[in-house]
Amino acid sequence: MMKIVALTLVVATSLLFPWTAGAQDAVKKCLACHTFDKGGAKKIGPNLFGIFGQASTLPELVGKGVVWDEPTLMAYLENPSAFIAAKTGGAAKSKMALLVKDPAERKAAIDYLKTLK
């Protein structure tokens, strides 16, 4: 009986959270400042639902041609302030304090963002 309950919990969890463990860990870090639900509220940072493939709406990047694709997100997540400074000629930096140095962790988070449509 306990094995059935445990198996049911594993299956239910995988259906509710269909991303990899690496993405789940990356997203956990993001949850302090971001939401991921369609129509979700803005927290300290914006809601990230549907962001992949879209033009940036960050005030510092509007009109700079930044589209949140995989290469852009890889660079941004590694060092948000350096990314924004490069795009604005040093005139601005990111409010995002989290640096995601591990490329595999950045990739996992991006893979999750791709599923939010």
User: CB within 8 A of 117, min separation 6: which ones?
Assistant: 50
**Per residue in 50-85, pLDDT tens?**
999 999 999 999 999 999 999 999 999 999 999 999
Residue bearing the bigger pLDDT, 83 or 7: 83
Q: C-alpha angle 79/83/85, rounded to 5°?
A: 120
Q: Is 88 part of any domain?
A: yes
- CATH code of the domain containing 111: 1.10.760.10
Q: Is 4 part of any domain?
A: no
Q: Residue 80, Cβ neighbours under 10 Å: how many?
A: 19
Q: Is 11 part of any domain?
A: no
Q: Is 14 part of any domain?
A: no
Q: Is 2 part of any domain?
A: no
| Selection from 110, 81, 73 nearest residue 97 by Cα | 81
Domain that holds residue 45: 19-115
